[in-house]
Each structure stands twice: as C-alpha cells, then as structure tokens.
Amino acid sequence: MSAPPTDSGLIVFCGKGGVGKTTLALAFALGRAEQGSKVVVVTSHPLTELAVSISLEGLKEKYPQAAANLYITYIEAREVLNHRLSAVIPSAILRKAVLSSRVYQSLIEVAPGLKEIAFLARLRQLAERRRHEEDGETFDLLIWDAPATGHFLQTLKAARNFHTNLSGPFAMLGDELVQFFADPSGMIVFPVATLEEMAVEETIDLYRGLSNEIHVPPAGIICNMASPLLASSDQEFDDIYRKVTTAESERQDLKFMLDRHVEERSLFHKLEATVTSPLHIVERAPESGSDLEMLVGISGQVGAAVASR
C-alpha cells in the first residue's frame, strides 16, 4: 500500500453521485494512514449507511497501523447548531425549552443554508485542530468525502453569503467561515468523474462553479474506473483497434470492449479540452476478494494523483 505524502490540511473529493468519491477518499486515507499519518475522513454518509455501502472488515487484522491512524466521522449539523446555541444560554431550563421549541426546530429546517453552515463550521474546527495542538489531540490530514455536486456547491456558496443574512450566534458561524475560505490554498479540491456522458457534463459544470463562483479552482480531476488502455496514446490505441477489427477471426467480445473504450477516450479528450486542471486516471480495479483489498489496490493511484497537484 503506497500513497505519496501531502501537507495540505483539507483534501476534498467531490462530484456526481455514484462516481466513487467515497471509495477514493477511503483509499487515499488508507494509504496515508498505513504510512503513519493520522487521518480523519469526514463522510457525507451517516456511518451506518457507509458501512452498508463499503466495508473495512479485516482492517485491524491485516493493516494494524492503518487501523490505528484512521478515523471516520459524520457531522450532524443539528448537533452543531444545538451546541452553538447552548453555549450562549446559561440557564439549563431555558436552554432545554429553546432547543425543544417548534420555532427553533422550524428555523433549522427552513433557514437557507443554516445546516450547511453548521456542517462547514465543524469542518473548520477540525481543520484548525490539525494546525494547532489542543489537549494533545492532533492529526495530520483531513479528508472530506463531499455530497453530490448540487449540495456540495450549495454548501460552499452558503459559506460566502450566510453572514449577511442572520444575526446573533448563528451569524458568527458565517463570519468565521468567511475567514476560513479567504485562503483558498487551505482546501484542495478534486472533482471525481467516470467517463460517461452525464458524469462528464456534470464535472464540467462543477469545475466552472468552483473556479468562477467559489474561486477555488480544482487541483485536478480524477477520472475514476477508467480503462487501462486510457494511458496509451491515441496512435497506440488506433493500432490495437485496427488489428482487432481487421483480423480474420474477429472477436466480438474484444471489439465491444474496444468500442466502449472509444467512448471513454472521446469523453476524456472532451474534459482535456474544457478544463485547465490536470486530469488523473484511476484504473478500474480488478476483481478482488473484499472491499478492503480493492481500496488498498487503488490507494497508490489516488495518492499519486493528490501528490502531483
């Protein structure tokens, strides 16, 4: 298991739902944790849901160092808001009454961007803890397995506008986040795409939103689950395709695979022509015995993509 080091405080894997953001985030985290770094992964999935989608069973037995250094957490925005409000209400009786009131519960649900800001405020706290020792609890790397594109962009936009919309303890959250995002170098963003039409189009929109609206240009775009042939040049692939399709005993299964790759290569070139961020390839993982082995198998590729920014 290998993953080149990086000194960035917050690495973000984002993109369309289903493109493998969580898989890449965990693979990268495992590689760094196995090297000895203390890594925190903030996932967009509740932990019970994450456990169903991808399993780390056997991690402690097979990779004890990685297990000791890897922490996975889920931020519940409601709990962050409750804690922030509780801090400014000295009376326990009044605090309980406010937190259980329908007005407060409704505010959480209807106030534009409130839960998104609460999430980012906690993320900011984690990033700041990495930089400054507090009670001896520090870590080396923070990874955000971000939600799907629309929610992700909405969350970042809310961080830039929220402090102008409310007053009181919640407005302070926005003020803190404005300072946090004033330095874009603190957040290294990697959109993830599969080489399929809808995923590529959404990745281009995400790239433009990050660059033009959020002002955090992606450090690179990861093309996930790509064919190994994508690393070959166009000329090399054309030679392979011609040999297969002109052979007397043409294999239809192989031709089908190559035709599918033609589509992948076309979409890869479309990304190349549209974005200025470098493209990185993570090849489709071969069949493996477990989710854990699959993550270990691609950790080096993901680590190399992040380190090359």
In a domain, 3, yes or no: no
Query: Which alpha helices (DSSP H) does 56-139 contain, by range?
Result: 59-62, 64-69, 77-86, 92-100, 102-110, 114-131
> Does a structural domain hold residue 273?
yes
**Tens-place pLDDT, residues 229-247:** 998 999 999 998 888 888 7
Per-residue pLDDT reduced to its tens digit, 217-231 = 999 999 999 999 998
Is the predicted pLDDT of residue 71 greater than 50, yes or no? yes
Q: Does the residue 131 lie in any domain?
A: yes
Q: How far is CA 214 from CA 220, 278, 306, in A?
A: 16, 19, 21
d(CA 12, CA 43): 10
pLDDT recorded at residue 190: 98
- Tell me whether residue 48 is in a domain: yes
Share of the chain above pLDDT 90, in %: 56
Hey, how many other C-beta atoms are within 10 angstroms of the C-beta on 235?
Answer: 8
Model confidence at 42, pLDDT cuts 50, 70, 90, reads very high
pLDDT above 90 for 6: no
Give residue 84's pLDDT: 83
* 137 Cβ neighbours under 8 A, 6+ residues apart: 129
- Asked if the structure places residue 4 within a domain, the reply is no
- Is 166 inside a domain boundary? yes
Over 70: is that where the pLDDT of 161 sits? Answer: no
Q: Quick check: is 1 in a domain?
A: no
Range of the domain at 295: 10-307
pLDDT grade for 176, boundaries at 50, 70 and 90: low
Q: Has residue 12 got a pLDDT over 80?
A: yes
What CA dihedral angle connects 273, 147, 172 and 82, to 10 degrees? 180
Report residue 8's pLDDT band, with 50, 70 and 90 as the boundaries.
low
- Is 2 among the domain residues? no
**CATH number, position 236:** 3.40.50.300
Q: Which residue has the higher pLDDT, 83 or 138?
A: 83
CA dist 274 and 235 (Å) reads 22
pLDDT above 70 as % of the chain: 85
Q: Is the pLDDT of residue 83 over 80?
A: yes
d(CA 225, CA 284): 4
What's this model's pTM, rounded to 2 decimal places?
A: 0.89
Instruction: Tell me what the mean pLDDT of segment 29-47 comes to.
Output: 94
Handedness of CA 163, 190, 11, 109 (dihedral sign): positive
**Structure-model confidence comparison of residues 239 and 183, the more confident one:** 239
**Strands of 127-272, DSSP E:** 141-148, 187-194, 221-226
DSSP state of 61: H
Q: What is the mean pLDDT of residues 62-79?
A: 95
The mean pLDDT of 125-142, rounded to a whole number, is 73
- The answer on pLDDT for 199 being more than 90 is yes
* Count of structural domains within the chain: 1
The pLDDT score that the predictor gives to residue 226 is 95
